[in-house]
Amino acid sequence: MENTTRVKEFILLGLSVNEGVEKICFVMFLFFYMMIVAGNLLIVITVTSSQRLNSPMYFFLCYLSFVDICYSSVTAPKMIADFLAENKTISFAGCIAQLFGVHFFGGTEIYLLTVMAYDRYVAICRPLHYTTLMTRRVCGWMVIGSWVGGFVHSIVQALLTTQLPFCGPNKIDHYFCDVHPLLQLACTDTYAVGIVAVANSGIPLSCFFILLMSYVVILGSLKSQTPKGWRRALSTCGSHITVVILFFGPCIFIYIRPSSSLLEDKAVAVFYTIITPVLNPLIYTLRNEEVKSAMRKLWSRKVGRESRKL
């Protein structure tokens, strides 16, 4: 890699070159990032501290919130700092590390969403076998499998990129390092590498079709349910379906094609790296009475402890 790569650092062009727009974006995205960390951390604390939220659904939700924090932290802090920086540079190693992190946590989230869909399928379509199929041990292995799947996906993307020669230019028309922008800077024909990268991205993104089929089966099984059963099933599945659409839609738009318009990609990437992690805590809390009730009890205990101290 040292013999073929002359570029030691890249310049991230970011979302805008207008100083006034960058200052507005700094405030806006700093607020979004604080909301991501606070909202998802609140879910993690609520689930881990509540005895009522001990079902597999909340076990997976806790890990999903943790992954959301990590996923956004790979890109958001650098992007926010660059809004006020004159030199928006990133080292070659830092760029590859950021690419790895984006695909690692993004791939892990995809597999976690698929596991959560399976959990809802078993709960609704095979309720009598739910406790035997979704044991704590099985859920733990599913989470480990999600992390391993994300790692395998990301290491392939990172290795494909590091094998390319970069001899200039070094300006990335994006706000973080990703496969498509880097392929356009390589000093060689990247068509074959682009095809392999798309094929590798297609493996986790194929989970979207598995998710669709699982919910077709779930909706089909609800025909024999009472109206109360319908409402309960839809309340638990509705949040998950919303998150799946918000996350998978932009990812499919960007990664399931060899070439792309980087201007469009930047706008879409903001949606799945920043906006979706902001919305996830709201979606899962506002539509879930158990989570809201657990949060209220957690807050009441905290207020009670503070009042006793005074």
Q: What is the pLDDT of residue 85?
A: 87
- pLDDT tens-place string over residues 4-24: 557 889 999 888 888 888 999
Binned at pLDDT 50, 70 and 90, residue 232 comes out as low
Measured CA to CA in angstroms, residue 244 lies from 114, 197, 247, 251, 297 at distances of 9, 22, 5, 11, 29
Q: Is the pLDDT of residue 199 over 50?
A: yes
The answer to pTM > 0.85 is: yes
How wide is the angle at C-alpha 150 spanned by C-alphas 251 and 268, nearest 5°?
Answer: 15
How wide is the angle at C-alpha 38 spanned by C-alphas 32 and 41, nearest 5°?
Answer: 130
CATH number of 9-303: 1.20.1070.10
- pLDDT tens-place string over residues 68-83: 999 999 999 999 999 9
Give the residue among 147, 137, 142 at the shortest CA–CA distance from 119: 142
- pLDDT tens-place string over residues 21-45: 899 999 999 999 999 999 999 999 9
Q: What is the pLDDT of residue 3?
A: 44
Q: What is the mean pLDDT of residues 171-181?
A: 89
- The CA-to-CA distance between both ends of the chain, in Å, stands at 62
Tell me the pLDDT of the chain averaged across its residues.
85
Edge-to-edge strand order for the sheet containing 9-12? 89-91, 9-12, 171-172
